[in-house]
Amino acid sequence: MKKQLDIVLGLQWGDEGKGKIVDSLAGRYPAVARFQGGPNAGHSLQFNGNNFVAKSLPSGIFRDGCVNVIGNGVVLDPQAFMKECKEAAKLGVDARERVLISRKTSLILPTHRHLDAAYESAAGKGKIGSTLRGIGPTYTDKAARVGLRVGDIMEPDFEEKWNKLKNRHLDIFKQLGYEYSPQADDAAYREAVDYLRTFRLINSEYFVNNWLDEKPMLAEGAQGTLLDVDHGSYPFVTSSNTTAGGACTGLGVAPGRVNRVYGIFKAYCTRVGSGPFPTELFDETGEKIRRTGHEFGAVTGRPRRTGWLDLVALKYAVIINGVTDLVMMKADCLDDFETIKVCTAYKVGGEITKEMPSETDAAIEPVYTEFKGWNTDLCGVTDESVLPKPFMDYVAFLEGELGVPIRMISLGPDRETIIER
Ligand code: IMP
């Protein structure tokens, strides 16, 4: 069995800048696969001077000759997918020639999107801050064994199955007092399902494993480790396994097939939506990080919460994913700080710990190590030898704490601005 599956994923709460790295790595692989999540993701790709935000399309979509797989672990919204494919078509790419979809991929229905909205408005203070793309309700139906899958759209009784599930959802709307009228949604959904029928559907486990016998593949994670439904800050998480194990279940690949795991992190932290964030900053420093890092959501446009780098959380993410190569993003956004802080431990109930507490409501006080800022404009630097000593000391400190080499450092938004070490 050849170890030819490499995985790239986020180590924090998403938005680590995966798009840029996946975009650059994708060019080195003849195939790229999405294994979880859905149109809640937003990976910014640059293509012939255009910027394209890939939501459900794998990031190899603009690479000639690259095969793009949507795996069984993904939740696919035919309407959002058709819209995205039409955008790609404007850039000269017919997604139908480049994308293969697992018959087992879960289908997001219009009522799933509305369930997200209905649950969030009923949740009051307990809101998750969902992207409202129907992700949670679709995974709920998958686990409840009542969901629909892409393969179902080819069956003659698809409308019947759809109606059955829709009726379950209509009952929930009634219970929640949520107003919903399906008419408008249904026509648009039917059109999008017709479009989806024109794609090549595959028995993805066979396809992927046969491929890996011959050639490498890159598995592309969405969201981030701390949003994993099992290992994240539950219940403030997404509903899939965003971690390396999710690549195995979301593609039907054995763990022994996995070669490298690229873990991407930002030199600070951000989070959108609700939930614990131990190093969050509510002051001018947090505002400055948001401004400098342009920390506003790619899918929702929401301002992101910002804070210092959290090594307790990052170490946890490295362990869970078995990261072999770290990729550090956006350290240039810290160019203009006198002091840079890194959280190296938590104080919980008066005790110092280096472990993430499993209770979401634990009162955590971050313990910081301070670094002198490098106060040098690093944006656009691609030559490691010109990096200032305080910056390299900072990098060496992180590597020592995390026990994994930082193989790539990205200092600036341009695709070419990557230092490979
Ligand atoms: P959902 O996945 O849309 O249900 O959202 C659940 C939580 O995950 C919310 O806090 C979202 O803001 C967060 N989330 C979902 N997708 C992303 C992403 O791609 N980047 C960052 N956060 C995300």
The pLDDT of residue 304 is: 95
Instruction: Look at strands 99-102 and 200-202 and give their pairing.
Output: parallel
Q: What is the pLDDT of residue 23?
A: 84
Spans of the chain, pLDDT less than 50: none
Measured at the alpha carbon of residue 126, what is the angle toward residues 301 and 10, in degrees to the nearest 5?
A: 50
DSSP state at residue 273: S
Number of CB atoms found within 10 A of residue 308's CB? 23
Q: What is the pLDDT of residue 293?
A: 95
Please give the angle made by the CA atoms of 307, 298 and 321, to the nearest 5 degrees: 60
pLDDT of 45 reads 85
Predicted model pTM: 0.96
> What is the Cα 364 distance to its own chain's centre?
25
Task: Give SS3 for 341.
Answer: strand
* Phi, psi dihedral angles at 281 (to 5 degrees): -110, 135
The per-residue pLDDT for 161 is 98
Distance 412 CA to ligand 1 centre (A): 24
Q: Which residue in the list 6, 43, 116, 231 is annotated as catalytic? A: 43
Q: Is 253 in the pocket of ligand 1 (CB under 6 A)?
A: no
Cβ atoms of 195 and 78 within 8 Å: the answer is yes
309: tokens are 């780098």
What single-letter DSSP state applies at residue 149? B
d(CA 271, CA 305): 5
The closest alpha carbon to 417, from 357, 336, 333, belongs to 333
What per-residue confidence (pLDDT) applies to 201?
Answer: 98
Our answer to whether residue 383 is catalytic in this structure is: no
Given a contact cutoff of 8 angstroms between Cβ atoms, the answer to whether 93 and 61 are in contact is yes
Q: For residues 408 and 420, what is the distance between their CA atoms, to the nearest angstrom?
A: 5
Residue 152 annotated among the catalytic residues of the structure: no
Catalytic choice (6, 15, 141, 332):
15
Amino acid at 406: I
Pairing of strands 43-47, 50-54: antiparallel
Q: What pLDDT is attached to residue 146?
A: 98
List the residue whose alpha carbon is closest to atom 9 of ligand 1.
Answer: 130
CA distance 3 to 14: 27
Choose which residue among 36, 131, 234, 270 to substitute to test ligand 1 binding: the one with the highest number of ligand atoms within 8 A of its C-beta.
131
For ligand 1, whether the C-beta of 232 sits within 6 Å is: no
Helix axes 110-123, 158-176, angle to 10 degrees: 20
Closest CA to 285 of 354, 356, 328, 333: 333
